[in-house]
Amino acid sequence: MSDQNTDTALEQKSSRTILDSILDSALHELNRERSGLLLSGLSAGLDIGFGPLMMAVVLTLSPGGYGDLGTELLLASVYSVGFIFVILGRSELFTEHTMLAVIPVLDGQASLGQLGRLWGLVYVGNLLGGLCFTLLAVLLTPGLGVVEPAAFEEIALKLVSHDLQWLFVGGIFAGWLMGLLAWLITAAQETTGRLLLVLIVTGTIGMLHLPHSIAGNVEVLFGLFSSPAITVTDYLSFLALATVGNAVGGGIFVAALKYGHVVRGAS
């Protein structure tokens, strides 16, 4: 019985340590200067675009396509590239903060106004960065001979051809996974472990074709700028539903539940 109590105490202490680390990190971000948050968000929006771009390269060069197991696995792997650059590079990604920045609000150490300020600045920076990256990619990469415009259209159609309900529910799952990744990254001690976690979690998002509002921003803009099959309405519908779904998934299914079980478990 004493061994079981000891194991439980150690588990609770470990969870509490993770929560405290998230609180410290999130409070620091909530109090950063506006310009710093916006520039960091811009950097993340630019960097994350390399994942969708690599997907376009794979679709151009691979004899297979969507539905082929080997191609799907390769697409999911290269989809993770942008997330590796962003998360290990410590840039600000909106979908991480759907979980991280909510924790101080739940703990009473930050206000909803502070949360909205952080979300707004990071989100705008992410979208602007993605827009700049997409313009460069669509204009320059076809001339290099590694990407065909049809690949950009194919990537975008994979996201916008679904029902609106799917976009919202899929967005919840994507936000859930990103919130879980932020929690696990905080728990991991080594860079190698963090790299593996990013590959597993974001590769899962890529394999399931879940709508991630920031990476998906680049994916759908690819199609919008290169094909008449993608309309502005398609883009705005995707962005709105994916964003709300991501916020619900990270804020409720990870932040609220993780915070609740740690605090109540320690009381």
| Cα–Cα nearest to 28, from 127, 129, 114 | 114
Cβ–Cβ under 8 Å, residues 179 and 98: yes
Q: Which segments of the chain have a pLDDT < 50?
A: 1-2, 5-13
Tens digit of pLDDT for each residue in 148-194? 999 999 999 999 999 999 999 999 999 999 999 999 999 998 899 99
**Residue 235 φ/ψ, nearest 5 degrees:** -65, -50
Q: CB-based contacts of 96: which residues, under 8 Å, 6+ apart?
A: 87, 178, 179, 181, 182, 250
Q: Cα torsion for 23, 264, 98, 121, to the nearest 10°?
A: -40
| Cα–Cα nearest to 96, from 18, 57, 44 | 44
CATH class of 2-266: mainly alpha
Domain boundaries, the chain: 2-266
The per-residue pLDDT for 10 is 40
Return the number of other C-beta atoms located less than 10 Å from residue 267's C-beta. 5
Tokens representing 187? 């728990």
Transcribe 32-48 into DSSP letters: S-HHHHHHHHHHHHHHT
The per-residue pLDDT for 122 is 98
Tokens representing 11? 């588990």
Find how far residue 101's CA is from the centre of its chain. 14
The per-residue pLDDT for 178 is 98
The per-residue pLDDT for 265 is 73
Tokens representing 48? 């994350």
The per-residue pLDDT for 65 is 87
Return the number of other C-beta atoms located less than 10 Å from residue 10's C-beta. 10
The per-residue pLDDT for 249 is 97
Tens digit of pLDDT for each residue in 14-36? 788 999 999 999 999 999 999 99
Tokens representing 239? 């962005």
